[in-house]
């Protein structure tokens, strides 16, 4: 008995000692931002991105990081195209002006294949830099993260914004009893947020009343990237695509002139009749302003622009009158186009470690929540699940769109593909050519641009 | 002691007639900022350099880009002819209007200094500012000019200038005329003020009417000034970029895609720098030809009139 008792006490002591030593070791090696950042105290890191609410929200959070680490953060904000071209010039000059960059993910292939950006595998394995609480493979929407920030199975960054487009509509107009009566009398079914494209066009037609300064929709028809982004929703929804490929970094046969793509493009143009007269001069800022002024009944728009219309009372006249839903369903199902701006670290950066620490800190739940509530578009499902985010009127539509978001090419030639399609779509909208001619021409140019990996599946006669 | 003996360097510079040290700074500036970049652009035009495609590292490809441009680039040629039409229309209207206004001021207005100062205003604005101002004025939903065009019935209420392809280029030409007619007016007015009075007095005594005096005396005497104005405006209009880029971005479609906008897209949207340099080289070549044709046509005639 005694022997048993002494054995037990020995075992207990051993266990206690082991537990204590592990606890001590744990506390000695507990990761903290302050300690990780200590070697970089006094360093200034500079970044660049698009001047929109998510970046403005980041600039408000940055002083907190500066206070904790002593690393100063400088943020340059520019209009979309300017933010992209400035980065290209800096990366090619190898000046290293930017320690990390925030760029649209369609640029990723160009950066990776030219060796401009740093793979982040080493940072994620570094005991000094990696916060053990940061688990991107558990905490992020995996499909979006892989699409936005990975290239050829290697991680290059983390999503700054996980963007998609969905339907915005005026819930007050669609819920109005008089409107409902009139609509049912004319179209034979109940007025409700559009579930398919036929309904979408009926609603657009019904609410087009130029004498009341009200229009059924607003197309982003300017010769600008906005046109291409908007059209992609119609293309995907009608069952079309640009390339036959499984991921953005994969090349494949060109199918941009498929019958589905032509049908989508013709349908898209048919909505021009229900859009304000200056629709060929609009891009995202213009249609957002129209919605804020209450002159449009419904449109397809970005999730990161929603805050300024649905929540910001200082900028919008329709707060409380807005509803949101996924893009109407077509032959291709319910679908949205995936886009995202991603944090990347240039190989020419002089402060890669400090930049990584800031990005990692920004990806933390607290920062993601605060950024999202101030107009961001997080890639963390747990942020979407929070009560505060759920209260935002657009959260459900945003989450649903994230689930069905479809990738687009991120190949090195993706900018040229975009430029070709913007030009041809704009030509079609301007009545310079038919939808088939515009898409055939696009297919020929894209195929020639990509070479042997991208034959034309629908050869031009 | 003579000055040259006291200063051998002065003798070297002035007495021996060597001007090299005097023109050296200007020569260096021209070499560094004009000849050097031009040489680099010419070389780049013969490479496949691309910032986007990693396979195109800038290998020398001779005249391949030029061949592609001349034979197989309908967008380039579309932009080229559009630019030519824009230059002809804008510069002709600016010249006729500017000349007429200058004559009116010269004949009828005494306080010319105040008026010329006011005329300077549109010219002093940066092209980007002009683009932004007119983009707002012609905006389809709340643009002030659009509002009055609708009110006056000059524009259908279902139309907006920049969304109606047939109206886009006329609007761009009108805006260019608004901005640059004062420039023509000022230069022509300066020319008119410097004309000698005696030929006109002699012509009046001989019984020549105002039209005869205008065509046979005033125009020949103003020929160098006119040439200068047309040359400067022609070159400037050929390079037009900022206003059009801000207002339409080259659209809708390719309706307003001038050559400079096409060059911008090739270079800074697609990052195809080799081909972009070829487009830029062609713009330079056209401007160079324009300059030499104008210069020879006008100054050769002026020299002949002068009896040389």
A189 to chain B nearest CA, in Å? Answer: 29
Q: Is A278's CB within 8 Å of B139's CB?
A: yes
- Rounded Cα distance between A226 and A301, Å, is 10
Picking from B253, B256, B258, B270 by the largest number of A CB atoms within 10 A of its own CB, the best residue to mutate is: B253
Picking from B57, B141, B258, B270 by the largest number of A CB atoms within 10 A of its own CB, the best residue to mutate is: B141
- Residue A28 inside a domain? The answer is no
- Rounded Cα distance between A456 and A252, Å, is 9
State whether A385 and A414 are in the same domain: no
Is A219 in contact with A268 (CB distance < 8 Å)? yes
Is B130 in contact with B179 (CB distance < 8 Å)? yes
pLDDT at B308 over 50: no
**Residue B150 token pair:** 């609708």
| Chain A positions in Cβ-Cβ contact with residue B162 (cut-off 8 Å) | 278, 280-281
State whether A180 and A275 are in the same domain: yes
| Chain A positions in Cβ-Cβ contact with residue B265 (cut-off 8 Å) | 419
Range with lowest mean pLDDT among A22-36, A146-160, A313-327, A401-415: A22-36
Q: Is B141's CB within 8 Å of A295's CB?
A: yes
Q: Is B141's CB within 8 Å of A278's CB?
A: yes
Query: By three-state DSSP, how is residue A52 classified?
Result: coil
pLDDT at A284 over 70: yes
Q: What is the pTM of this model?
A: 0.86
- Rounded Cα distance between B105 and B114, Å, is 11
- Residue B27 inside a domain? The answer is no
| Chain B positions in Cβ-Cβ contact with residue A415 (cut-off 8 Å) | 52, 269-271
Contacts of residue A170, Cβ cutoff 8 Å, sequence gap at least 6: A294, A296, A297, A298, A318, A321, A322, A323
State whether A253 and A353 are in the same domain: no
pLDDT at B148 over 80: yes
ipTM summary value:
0.81
Quick one: average pLDDT of B231-238? 92
Q: Write out the DSSP string of A389-414.
A: HHHSTTHHHHHHHHHHEE----STTH
| Chain A positions in Cβ-Cβ contact with residue B158 (cut-off 8 Å) | 210, 277
- Rounded Cα distance between A150 and A249, Å, is 9
Q: What is the pLDDT of residue A22?
A: 45
Query: By three-state DSSP, how is residue A344 classified?
Result: strand
State whether A80 and A138 are in the same domain: yes
State whether A247 and A368 are in the same domain: no
Q: What is the pLDDT of residue B222?
A: 92
- Residue A325 inside a domain? The answer is yes
Q: Is B52's CB within 8 Å of A428's CB?
A: no
Q: What is the pLDDT of residue B56?
A: 86
Give the tens place of pLDDT for each residue, A386-443: 999 999 889 999 989 988 888 888 999 998 999 999 999 999 999 999 999 999 999 9
| Angle of helix B165-193 versus helix B74-108 axis, rounded to 10 | 40
Q: What is the pLDDT of residue B302?
A: 56
Residue A187 phi/psi, 5° resolution?
-105, -10
Choose the closest CB to B254 out of A295, A416, A423: A423
How many domains in chain A?
2
| Chain B positions in Cβ-Cβ contact with residue A85 (cut-off 8 Å) | 268
Residue A158 phi/psi, 5° resolution?
-135, 150
| Chain A positions in Cβ-Cβ contact with residue B271 (cut-off 8 Å) | 88, 110, 415
Q: Is A413's CB within 8 Å of B162's CB?
A: no
Distances (CA, A) of B281 to A202, A397, A415, B271: 52, 51, 23, 16
Q: What is the pLDDT of residue A23?
A: 44
Q: What is the pLDDT of residue A369?
A: 97
Task: Say whether residue A386 is in contact with chain B using an 8 A CB cutoff.
Answer: no
CATH number reported for the structural domain that contains residue B210 in this entry: 1.10.3720.10
pLDDT over 90 percentage in chain A: 80
Give the tens place of pLDDT for each residue, A74-131: 999 999 889 999 999 999 988 999 999 999 998 999 999 999 999 999 999 999 999 9
- Residue B70 inside a domain? The answer is yes
State whether A226 and A245 are in the same domain: yes
- Rounded Cα distance between A410 and A106, Å, is 4
- Residue B173 inside a domain? The answer is yes
Print the domain residue range for A208: 165-337+410-453
- Residue A156 inside a domain? The answer is yes
Distances (CA, A) of B90 to B237, B256, B293: 8, 14, 19
CATH number reported for the structural domain that contains residue A39 in this entry: 3.40.190.10
Q: What is the pLDDT of residue B13?
A: 54
Work out whether strand A339-344 and strand A322-325 pair parallel, antiparallel, or are unpaired. Answer: unpaired
State whether A329 and A438 are in the same domain: yes
Q: Is A426's CB within 8 Å of B271's CB?
A: no
Burial class (CB in 10 A: 0-12, 13-18, 19+), A93: exposed
State whether A128 and A230 are in the same domain: no
Q: Is A279's CB within 8 Å of B158's CB?
A: no
Q: What is the pLDDT of residue B3?
A: 45
Closest CA to B186 of B132, B232, B236: B232
- Residue A16 inside a domain? The answer is no
pLDDT over 90 percentage in chain B: 64
Give the tens place of pLDDT for each residue, B82-124: 999 999 999 999 999 999 999 999 888 777 777 888 888 888 8
- Residue B47 inside a domain? The answer is no
A348 to chain B nearest CA, in Å? Answer: 16
Closest CA to A262 of A433, A24, A98, A399: A433
**Residue B180 token pair:** 């640059």
- Residue B107 inside a domain? The answer is yes
**Residue A154 token pair:** 């290697």
Q: Write out the DSSP string of A279-339.
A: GGG--HHHHHHHHHHT-BSEEEEEGGGHHHHHT-TTT-S-TTSEEEEPPPBBTTBS-EE-E
**Residue A232 token pair:** 């992609």
Count Cα atoms within 13 angstroms, Cβ side, for A372. 30
Range with lowest mean pLDDT among A28-42, A80-94, A312-326, B108-122: B108-122
**Residue A343 token pair:** 């944090």
State whether A197 and A143 are in the same domain: no
Q: Is A223's CB within 8 Å of B53's CB?
A: no
Task: Say whether residue A434 is in contact with chain B using an 8 A CB cutoff.
Answer: no
Work out whether strand A44-50 and strand A72-78 pair parallel, antiparallel, or are unpaired. Answer: parallel
Give the tens place of pLDDT for each residue, A193-230: 999 999 999 999 999 999 999 999 999 999 999 999 99
Degrees (nearest 5) of the Cα angle A218, A222, A223? 150
Task: Say whether residue A419 is in contact with chain B using an 8 A CB cutoff.
Answer: yes
State whether A232 and A358 are in the same domain: no
- Rounded Cα distance between A87 and A92, Å, is 8
- Rounded Cα distance between B95 and B112, Å, is 20
pLDDT at A70 over 80: yes
| Chain B positions in Cβ-Cβ contact with residue A106 (cut-off 8 Å) | none
For chains A and B, what is the number of CB pairs under 8 angstroms? 98
Q: Is A222's CB within 8 Å of B52's CB?
A: no
Q: Is B252's CB within 8 Å of A295's CB?
A: no
Give the tens place of pLDDT for each residue, B215-230: 999 999 998 899 889 9
| Chain B positions in Cβ-Cβ contact with residue A113 (cut-off 8 Å) | 54
- Residue A404 inside a domain? The answer is no
How many domains in chain B?
1
- SS3 for A168-230 is EEEHHHHCCHHHHHHHHHHHCCCCCCCCEHHHHHHHHHHCCEHHHCEECCCCCCCCCHHHHHH
A21 to chain B nearest CA, in Å? Answer: 54
Neighbours of A449 (CB within 10 A): 17
Average model confidence (pLDDT) across chain A: 91
Print the domain residue range for B128: 64-305
A196 to chain B nearest CA, in Å? Answer: 28
State whether A224 and A139 are in the same domain: no
The distance of Cα B14 from the centroid of its chain, to the nearest Å, equals 39
Residues of B with CB under 8 A from a CB of A: 51-54, 75, 139-141, 157-160, 162-163, 165, 248-255, 265, 268-272
- Residue A91 inside a domain? The answer is yes
Closest CA to B255 of B153, B160, B195, B172: B172
Q: Which residue has the higher pLDDT, B171 or B308?
A: B171
- Reported as a pLDDT band with limits 50, 70 and 90, residue A21 is very low
| Chain A positions in Cβ-Cβ contact with residue B139 (cut-off 8 Å) | 278, 281
> Would you state the torsion angle of the CA atoms of residues A402, A104, A238, A146, taken in this order, to the nearest 10 degrees?
-50
Choose the closest CB to A432 out of B163, B249, B253: B253
State whether A384 and A349 are in the same domain: yes
């Amino acid at each position: 008995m005694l022997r048993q008792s002494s054995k037990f006490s020995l075992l207990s002591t051993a266990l206690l000692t082991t537990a204590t030593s592990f606890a001590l070791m744990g506390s000695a090696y507990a990761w903290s931002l302050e300690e990780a950042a200590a070697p970089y105290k006094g360093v200034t890191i500079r970044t660049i991105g698009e001047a929109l609410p998510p970046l403005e929200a980041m600039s408000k959070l940055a002083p907190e990081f500066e206070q904790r680490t002593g690393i100063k953060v400088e943020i340059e904000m520019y209009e979309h195209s300017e933010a992209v071209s400035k980065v290209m010039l800096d990366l090619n000059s190898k000046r290293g002006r930017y320690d990390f960059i925030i760029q649209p993910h369609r640029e990723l292939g160009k950066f990776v294949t030219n060796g401009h950006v740093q793979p982040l595998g080493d940072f994620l394995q570094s005991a000094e830099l990696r916060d053990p609480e940061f688990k991107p493979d558990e905490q992020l929407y995996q499909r979006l993260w892989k699409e936005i920030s990975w290239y050829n199975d290697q991680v290059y960054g983390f999503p700054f914004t996980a963007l998609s487009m969905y339907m915005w509509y005026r819930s007050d107009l669609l819920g109005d009893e008089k409107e409902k009566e009139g609509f049912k009398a004319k179209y034979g079914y109940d007025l409700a947020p559009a579930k398919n494209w036929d309904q979408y066009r009926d609603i657009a037609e019904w609410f087009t009343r130029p004498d009341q300064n009200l229009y059924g929709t607003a197309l982003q028809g300017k010769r600008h990237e906005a046109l291409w982004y908007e059209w992609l929703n119609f293309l995907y929804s009608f069952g079309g695509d640009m390339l036959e490929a499984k991921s953005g970094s994969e090349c494949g046969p060109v199918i941009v002139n498929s019958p589905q793509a032509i049908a989508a493009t013709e349908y898209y143009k048919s909505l021009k009749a229900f859009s304000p007269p200056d629709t060929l001069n609009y891009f995202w800022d213009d249609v957002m302003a129209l919605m804020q002024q209450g002159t449009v009944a419904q449109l397809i728009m970005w999730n990161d622009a929603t805050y300024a219309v649905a929540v910001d009372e200082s900028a919008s006249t329709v707060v409380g009158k807005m509803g949101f839903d996924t893009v109407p369903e077509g032959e291709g199902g319910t679908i949205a186009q995936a886009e995202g701006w991603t944090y990347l670290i240039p190989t020419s950066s002089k402060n890669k470690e400090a930049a990584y620490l800031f990005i990692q800190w920004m990806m933390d739940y607290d920062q993601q929540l605060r950024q999202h509530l101030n107009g961001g578009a997080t890639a963390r499902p747990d942020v979407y699940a929070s009560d505060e985010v759920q209260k935002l009127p657009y959260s459900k539509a945003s989450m649903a769109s994230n689930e069905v978001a479809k990738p687009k090419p991120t190949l090195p030639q993706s900018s040229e593909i975009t430029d070709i399609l913007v030009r041809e779509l704009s030509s079609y909208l301007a009545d310079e050519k038919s939808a088939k001619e515009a898409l055939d021409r696009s297919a020929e140019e894209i195929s020639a641009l990509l070479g042997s990996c991208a034959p034309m599946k629908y050869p031009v006669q | 002691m003579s000055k040259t003996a006291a200063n051998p360097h002065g003798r070297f510079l002035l007495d021996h007639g060597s001007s090299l040290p005097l023109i050296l700074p200007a020569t260096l500036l021209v070499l560094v900022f004009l000849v050097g970049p031009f040489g680099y652009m010419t070389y780049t035009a013969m490479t496949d350099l691309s910032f986007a495609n990693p396979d195109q590292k800038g290998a020398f490809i001779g005249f391949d880009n030029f061949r592609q441009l001349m034979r197989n680039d309908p967008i380039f040629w579309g932009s080229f002819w559009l630019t030519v039409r824009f230059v002809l229309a804008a510069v002709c209207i600016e010249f006729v209007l500017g000349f007429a206004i200058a004559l009116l001021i010269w004949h009828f207005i005494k306080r010319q200094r105040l008026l010329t100062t006011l005329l300077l205003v549109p010219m002093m604005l940066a092209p980007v500012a002009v683009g932004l101002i007119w983009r707002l004025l012609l905006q389809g939903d709340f643009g002030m000019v659009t509002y009055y065009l609708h009110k006056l019935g000059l524009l259908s209420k279902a139309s907006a200038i920049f969304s109606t392809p047939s109206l886009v280029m006329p609007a761009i030409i009108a805006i260019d005329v608004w901005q640059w007619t004062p420039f023509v007016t000022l230069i022509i007015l300066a020319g008119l003020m410097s004309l000698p009075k005696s030929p006109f007095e002699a012509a009046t005594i001989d019984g020549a009417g105002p039209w005869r005096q205008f065509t046979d005396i005033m125009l020949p005497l103003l020929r160098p000034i006119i040439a200068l104005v047309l040359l400067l405006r022609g070159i400037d209009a050929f390079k037009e970029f900022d206003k059009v880029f801000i207002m339409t971005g080259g659209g809708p479609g390719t309706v307003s895609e001038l050559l400079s906008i096409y060059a911008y897209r090739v270079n800074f949207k697609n990052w195809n720098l080799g081909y972009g340099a070829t487009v830029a080289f062609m713009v330079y070549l056209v401007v160079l030809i324009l300059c030499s044709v104008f210069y020879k046509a006008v100054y050769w005639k002026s020299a002949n009139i002068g009896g040389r």
